[in-house]
């Protein structure tokens, strides 16, 4: 007769709790996957934005390359400006890398004195990703 007894109320609650923990564990994977897709999309937009700014610089540069030389000499990123059609992204110009702040001969992207467009998330959108995309460029 003992073998046929039902579950106690406590046993059911414990079983539900264990099941719930399992479900939450599986569910926790979804946001990470979504975040990955969103970041990939944001990076795509950042690349286009950086390319756009570089093309404008190349087009507008004078023969002395004043504009580009001035950017090369910037020791820190200029004021971040919002992307006109996407206020989740900002761009700025700099002669120094934010991704690789310490110059390293084995890392060309860290070379100082090279003009760059730096695309970041807008601070009120997300401030945990300092640099989304950094594009170095030369004169026209």
Partner 1 sequence: MRNTLRTSRAVTLTELLVAMVISVIFVGSVVMVFTLTLDASDETRRSSDAHNRARAAAEAITQDLKFLQVDPLLGITADTLVLVDQPLAYGDLVDNDRDGFLDEETVDGADDEPTTDWVDQHQVVNFRTERSAYVGFPDLGDLGVDDDTVFSRDQVAFLRTLGPSAIPGVPIRERVAYRIDTFDGEDNVLVREVTTFDPSVSPDVTVLEPVVFDVVSLDILAWNSNTDGFVPVQPYWLTAWDSSAFPFGTRPLNAPLGVPPFAYPTSFFVRVVVSAEKVPLAEIGPWFLQNRPLKTETAQTVVNVESVLGSAEYAVYVRDP
Residues of this chain that bind partner 1 (CB under 8 A): 1-2, 4-6, 9, 12-13, 16, 20, 23, 27, 30, 33-34, 37-38, 40-41, 44-45, 48, 51-53, 55-56, 58-64, 66-67, 70-71, 78-79, 81, 84-86, 92-93, 140
We find the least distance from the C-beta atom of residue 104 to partner 1, in angstroms, to be 27
Instruction: Give the number of other Cβ atoms within 10 Å of residue 106's Cβ.
Output: 5
Residue 106 C-beta: closest distance to partner 1, Å: 30
Nearest CB to partner 1, comparing residues 27 and 102: 27
Determine the Cα–Cα distance for residues 72 and 77; give it in Å rounded to an integer: 11
Cβ-based nearer residue to partner 1, 21 or 107: 21
Q: Which two tokens stand for residue 92?
A: 């700025």
CB of 29 to partner 1, least distance (A): 10
Closest-CA residue to 68 (of 93, 97, 100):
93
- Which element (helix H / strand E) includes 121? strand 116-121
Of 19 and 129, CB closest to partner 1 = 19
DSSP single-letter state for residue 64: T
* CB 35 to partner 1: min, Å: 9
Residue 76 · residue 92 · CB < 8 Å: no
Q: Which is nearer to partner 1, 75 or 84 (CB)?
A: 84
Count of other CB atoms within 10 angstroms of residue 12: 11
Count of positions (residues) in the chain = 140
């Amino acid at each position: 007769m003992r073998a046929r007894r039902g579950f106690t109320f406590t046993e059911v609650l414990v079983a539900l709790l264990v099941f719930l923990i399992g479900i939450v564990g599986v569910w926790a994977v979804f946001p990470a996957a979504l975040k990955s897709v969103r970041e990939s999309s944001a990076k795509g937009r950042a690349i286009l934005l950086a390319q756009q700014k570089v093309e404008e610089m190349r087009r507008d540069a004078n023969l002395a390359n004043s504009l580009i030389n001035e950017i090369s000499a910037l020791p820190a990123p200029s004021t971040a400006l919002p992307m006109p059609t996407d206020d989740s992204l900002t761009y700025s110009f700099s002669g120094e890398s934010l991704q690789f702040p310490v110059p390293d001969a084995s890392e060309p992207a860290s070379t100082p004195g090279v003009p760059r467009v730096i695309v970041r998330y807008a601070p009120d959108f997300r401030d945990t990703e300092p640099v989304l995309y950094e594009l170095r460029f030369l004169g026209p």
